[in-house]
Amino acid sequence: MSPRAACRLETLDFTEVYDYVPGKADWLAHNLPVEGEHAGALTAGGVARDDVATCRPDDRIGDLSDRIERSPYGFALVTTPGGVVLGRLRRSALLNGDPAAHAEDVMEPGPSTVRPDAPPQELAQRLAKRALNTAIVTTPEGRLLGVARRQDLESASTQDGL
Amino acid sequence: MATSTALPELRALLAGGAQLVEVLPEREYVEAHLPGAINIPLKQLTAQTAGALDRARAVVVYCWDSL
């Protein structure tokens, strides 16, 4: 639709026309604000917390024990310096692994992630069906935004009257 | 032909004063739109409705996604 609108504007003598092709879906998926009736609606991104422990692929797991012990989730996320999620490192991997091993050697690669515009009720149901308590929230490019707890998602659903 | 743009370039364009136009139907615009966007649905895009825009400034159009 927007390519045709851009062409139409050019036929109307607009000389500097751009088409934001990824569109509103992309904007929402980056957890950016909107205006309108749904502006205040709670989303997965809105309830996501930024208290998850993170580490780099080349961190030694022997150095990560304290960080994961302090984490409320029982895992750390392995990210690039730019914040892109590469893997998940569970507490159990630390307990049984070689302390000299690198995080990338024992992480679970490519954990499932969700976009921040996911509706809380729908996401809470998906997590419950799979007996999961958390969802990793990222941008479409995989950059970590936070972790949404099922409990928070369920509370948000209730608040929204869903 | 119009230039396709992604989010980083969009941010720069908006910072430079570009006008933002959502071309989806009004109902979708009312529910949620990008901050500062005006609504000119594609089916209503004419010389008259486009008159709301400043020809001297860049215009960025968008819809839901690329599909």
Q: What gap in Å lies between CA A161 and CA A155, rounded to an integer?
A: 10
pLDDT value at position B59?
98
Q: Do B58 and A17 touch (CB under 8 A)?
A: yes
User: Least CB-CB distance to B63: which of A2, A15, A28?
Assistant: A2
Write the pLDDT tens digit of every residue in B19-44: 999 999 999 999 999 999 999 999 99
User: Is residue A67 within 8 Å of A55, Cβ to Cβ?
Assistant: yes
Q: What gap in Å lies between CA B42 and CA B21, rounded to an integer?
A: 10
Q: Do A26 and B7 touch (CB under 8 A)?
A: yes
Q: Do A3 and B62 touch (CB under 8 A)?
A: no
Positions in chain A whose pLDDT score sits under 50: 162
pLDDT value at position A160?
60
User: Least CB-CB distance to B59: which of A9, A21, A35?
Assistant: A9
**What residues of chain A lie within 8 A of the CB of B52, using their CB?**
none
pLDDT above 90 coverage of chain B, percent: 93
- Residues 48-67 in B contacting A (C-alpha not used; CB under 8 Å): 50, 53, 55, 57-66
Q: Do B59 and A19 touch (CB under 8 A)?
A: no
Question: How many CB pairs (< 8 A) connect A and B?
Answer: 131
pLDDT value at position A41?
87
**What residues of chain B lie within 8 A of the CB of A21, using their CB?**
4-6, 62, 66
Q: What gap in Å lies between CA A153 and CA A159, rounded to an integer?
A: 10
Q: What gap in Å lies between CA B14 and CA B9, rounded to an integer?
A: 9
**Single-letter amino acid code for the residue at A143:** R
Work out the minimum CA distance from B2 to partner chain A, whole angstroms: 5
